[in-house]
Amino acid sequence: MKQTSPAADPPSFNTVQGPELRAQDSASPTPPIIQVSALGKSYKTARGELTLFRDLSLTVQPGEMVAIVGQSGAGKSTP
């Protein structure tokens, strides 16, 4: 395997560094590793229904990095 120095091949936003993962070739598209369409989440509370989100769509392609962020107690890890 041939390795190049970072100065010779600067990474782009979607490029993944490392021997196992490479930037995807646009001539041979790969399917997304995560794809969500029209997802919704709501809770019933004493005051009524609380909608957290509705019609959420998300696609994560191989090599992309995604983070879920929010305040402590906001429900990031709630199923």
Q: Is 7 helix (H, G, I), strand (E, B) or coil?
A: coil
Q: Which of residues 1 and 77 earns the better pLDDT score?
A: 77
Residues 16-35 pLDDT 10s: 444 445 555 556 688 999 99
CA atoms of 14 and 19, how far apart (whole Å): 15
Nearest to 17 by CA among 35, 5, 29: 5
Contact 60, 33 (CB under 8 A): yes
pTM listed for this prediction: 0.50
Contact 58, 35 (CB under 8 A): yes
